[in-house]
Chains A and B, each alone.
Chain A
Amino acid sequence: MITVSTLRKKLDQKEFSSVELTKEYLKKIRENENLGAFNTVCEEEALSAASLADEKIVSGNISPLTGIPMAIKDNICTKGIKTTCSSKMLESYAPPYNATVMEKLNAQNIVILGKTSMDEFAMGGSSQTSALSKPKNPFNTECVPGGSSGGSATAVSAGLCSAALGSDTGGSIRQPASFCGITGIKPTYGTVSRFGLVAFGSSLDQIGPMANSAEDCGIILNAIAGQDKHDRTTRKHDIDFLSCMGNSIKGMKIGLPKEFFGDGIDEEVKAAVLSVAKFYENMGAELVEVSMPTLKYAVSAYYLLACAEASSNLSRYDGVKYGYRTASPESYDKLIKKTRSEGFGTEVKRRILLGTYALSSGYYDAYYKKALAVRQQCRAEHDEIFSKCDLMLTPTAPTVAYKAGANIDDPVKMYLADICTVTANIAGIPAISVPCGCDKAGMPIGFSLSAKRFDDAKLIGAADIFEKENPHPVASI
């Protein structure tokens, strides 16, 4: 699969123009509509942006992403282009402003091919809770692409775009990246502005890249990261996310937390990830066994925190200012209740109810406050681990992609499947998922590397070392 860095060279050498490249991607999107990757395809806007990018390239006014066709998850606000969150609630919503990440990408003259489907309001791990397009896994279209950034993963994996943006609240970039055989990074909390990202769990949400290589992730992060006056959680930093590319891994310590390799992790996944550990060891890294005892509480803590925040964040959908409104409401109260009941899907309602429960009088201490305590402990455990090692290696998901419909009626099973990813969000650390082969059925397996806060570049460097020797699996579409 062609990378952004390769496309950059070819565009600069005038092997083809951005318009020609964009037309190719649009053709491929049309030919693969059955994959359901996109909620909206922006053909006209894309060709117009590509034409402008070509002018910039000819004039030599080139940024790393000038003329590069990308896809954007449908919960990132794009001015004048529908941003639906794959929900009936926002089916017709066209934001009057751009998310900060879009302003930054537009400043580099990228080409937006379209908005990718996802789990409704990013709530899910399969993209099957989407009320609009339901994306499929390019490696086996009977299987889910993961979620919630499933449309972005499908689009990158199937070659319908060069790279995409996703968002990650509990694994929503990394798990679909793993299921679809691509690379995806959740940056350190505070690296990328969340302004214009439709809020789910505000203390956990981060936007990040999904691409065909770790290097591409670094190129995109260099474009979108930085302090933003519209998001007070963003930190001032001058990280070059490509600064560790080419560095040796010799002497680095890689922690293997024993709890991530126990029961519940598929044997083929476990074997593949342990073979990655062996690879790094052979390259000169030292493997260290570490422990994360809070892991057994991580899923509960994550769902309590994320849903509590979601129940508050989603209270803005009342049918008054934007979004869906019920027909002929009898009163103001009924306008709000009926709008929300008709506009939200089953999983979103479940999570609003759970969050309300956790925050309600009589339950707050037992659930929400306890979850905060686990979060505190989880962060302390990560600090302890990263005082002993540079990186931590785990599976990205307990299994490979499963058949569509398999877990949709069992929310508990669905939530437990997030076990390998939620701790990075709880602790606010960066984590990257990289493909490491396929299982016997040909479905991709992913491994995760994480590091201490703001060591994102180190992850990209280490992932690049693995990718150089182990190419990504390719879907035969």
Chain B
Amino acid sequence: MISRENLELLCELSKLHLSEEEFAEYSKEMSDIISLMDTIGESNFEYNPIDMTNAVPFSSLRADEIETFENMEGIVNNGPQTVENQFVVPKIVD
């Protein structure tokens, strides 16, 4: 069973808040899931960082040129809270 301390740390790293009820539910489920993931430890394969067959194949880089995105209105309209083309967030510094 994953410890409460561990789950709390995972929630903090994941920026998630769980209610007490969710905590109990996720503790059980995460333990079962991690048991399934543990089967990978039985494999004796070693990762070879030099073997590029594992890497995502990237094509050549495009030219590093500034392109103007025209649809500013489309961006602003999707903002949960905006003022004069700027996103509003709660006060960070007092």
Complex formed: what's the CA distance from A94 to B47 in Å? 41
Given A297-B39, A315-B15, verify A236-B80 contact (CB < 8 Å).
Answer: no
Complex formed: what's the CA distance from A58 to B18 in Å? 59
- Dominant SS at the A interface? helix
Residues of A within 8 A of B58 (CB): 232-233
- B30 and A97 contacting across the interface, CB-CB below 8 Å: no
- A304 and B26 contacting across the interface, CB-CB below 8 Å: no
Nearest Cβ in chain B — how far from A407, in angstroms? 13
* Chain A residue, CB-CB nearest to B93: A332
Residues of A within 8 A of B38 (CB): 300
Given A332-B89, A341-B17, verify A303-B74 contact (CB < 8 Å).
Answer: no
- B15 and A360 contacting across the interface, CB-CB below 8 Å: no
Given A297-B40, A373-B43, verify A354-B59 contact (CB < 8 Å).
Answer: no
Nearest Cβ in chain B — how far from A183, in angstroms? 27
B39-86, CB < 8 A from A: 39-43, 45-48, 51, 53-54, 56-59, 61-62, 69, 71, 73-75, 77-81
- B74 and A371 contacting across the interface, CB-CB below 8 Å: no
* Chain A residue, CB-CB nearest to B63: A229
**Does A93 interact with chain B (Cβ within 8 Å)?**
yes
Residues of A within 8 A of B74 (CB): 79-80, 94-97
* Chain B residue, CB-CB nearest to A293: B43
Query: Chain B 1-44, CB within 8 Å of chain A: the 1/0 string?
Result: 00000010111011111100000001001101111111111110
Nearest Cβ in chain A — how far from B67, in angstroms? 10
Task: Tell me which of A59-67, A103-111, A345-353 binds B.
Answer: A345-353
Complex formed: what's the CA distance from A109 to B79 in Å? 31
Nearest Cβ in chain B — how far from A318, in angstroms? 8
Nearest Cβ in chain B — how far from A363, in angstroms? 9
Query: Chain A 338-375, CB within 8 Å of chain B: the 1/0 string?
Result: 10110010000110111011101000001101111111
Nearest Cβ in chain B — how far from A134, in angstroms? 21
Name the contact of B54 in the complex, choosing from A234, A325, A349, A379 (C-beta under 8 A): A379
Given A229-B62, A358-B37, A379-B54, verify A411-B32 contact (CB < 8 Å).
Answer: yes
Given A94-B74, A321-B78, A322-B79, verify A232-B32 contact (CB < 8 Å).
Answer: no
- A297 and B43 contacting across the interface, CB-CB below 8 Å: yes
- B14 and A374 contacting across the interface, CB-CB below 8 Å: no
Query: Chain A 96-119, CB within 8 Å of chain B: the 1/0 string?
Result: 110000000000000000000000
Name the contact of B45 in the complex, choosing from A92, A349, A377, A412 (C-beta under 8 A): A377
Complex formed: what's the CA distance from A321 to B15 in Å? 17
- B40 and A367 contacting across the interface, CB-CB below 8 Å: yes
Residues of A within 8 A of B26 (CB): 349-350, 353
Residues of B within 8 A of A92 (CB): 78
Nearest Cβ in chain B — how far from A345, in angstroms? 12
Number of residues in B with C-beta < 8 Å to the partner?
53
- B81 and A376 contacting across the interface, CB-CB below 8 Å: no
**Does A88 interact with chain B (Cβ within 8 Å)?**
no
Q: Give the contact-size bracket for chain A.
A: 35 or more
A310-350, CB < 8 A from B: 311, 315, 318-325, 329-332, 334-338, 340-341, 344, 349-350
Residues of A within 8 A of B59 (CB): 190, 227, 232-236
Name the contact of B13 in the complex, choosing from A332, A356, A374, A375 (C-beta under 8 A): A356
Complex formed: what's the CA distance from A470 to B61 in Å? 45
Name the contact of A411 in the complex, choosing from B29, B89, B91 (C-beta under 8 A): B29
- A369 and B47 contacting across the interface, CB-CB below 8 Å: yes
Nearest Cβ in chain A — how far from B4, in angstroms? 13
Complex formed: what's the CA distance from A285 to B79 in Å? 57
Residues of A within 8 A of B7 (CB): 353
* Chain A residue, CB-CB nearest to B82: A321
- B53 and A320 contacting across the interface, CB-CB below 8 Å: no
- A320 and B15 contacting across the interface, CB-CB below 8 Å: no
**Does A431 interact with chain B (Cβ within 8 Å)?**
no
- A320 and B80 contacting across the interface, CB-CB below 8 Å: yes
Name the contact of A329 in the complex, choosing from B13, B32, B78, B90 (C-beta under 8 A): B90
Residues of B within 8 A of A294 (CB): 43, 45
Name the contact of A203 in the complex, choosing from B51, B56, B61, B90 (C-beta under 8 A): B56
Name the contact of B36 in the complex, choosing from A233, A236, A369, A415 (C-beta under 8 A): A415
Complex formed: what's the CA distance from A300 to B43 in Å? 11
**Can you pick out 19 interface pairs between chain A and chain B where the beta carbons lie within 8 Å of each other?**
A92-B78, A95-B78, A96-B77, A97-B71, A232-B62, A235-B57, A296-B39, A303-B33, A303-B37, A323-B80, A324-B80, A332-B92, A337-B17, A350-B33, A354-B37, A357-B10, A374-B45, A380-B53, A383-B53
With A370-B45, A373-B47, A376-B47 known, 10 other A-B pairs at CB within 8 A are A96-B71, A232-B59, A303-B33, A311-B14, A318-B15, A350-B26, A353-B10, A353-B30, A373-B43, A376-B45
**8 pairs of A and B residues whose beta carbons are closest in the complex:** A96-B74, A325-B80, A373-B47, A322-B78, A373-B45, A300-B40, A96-B71, A376-B54
Which A residues have a C-beta under 8 Å from some C-beta of B? 79-80, 92-97, 189-190, 202-203, 227, 229, 232-236, 294, 296-297, 299-301, 303-304, 311, 315, 318-325, 329-332, 334-338, 340-341, 344, 349-350, 352-354, 356-358, 360, 366-367, 369-377, 379-380, 383, 411-412, 415-416, 428
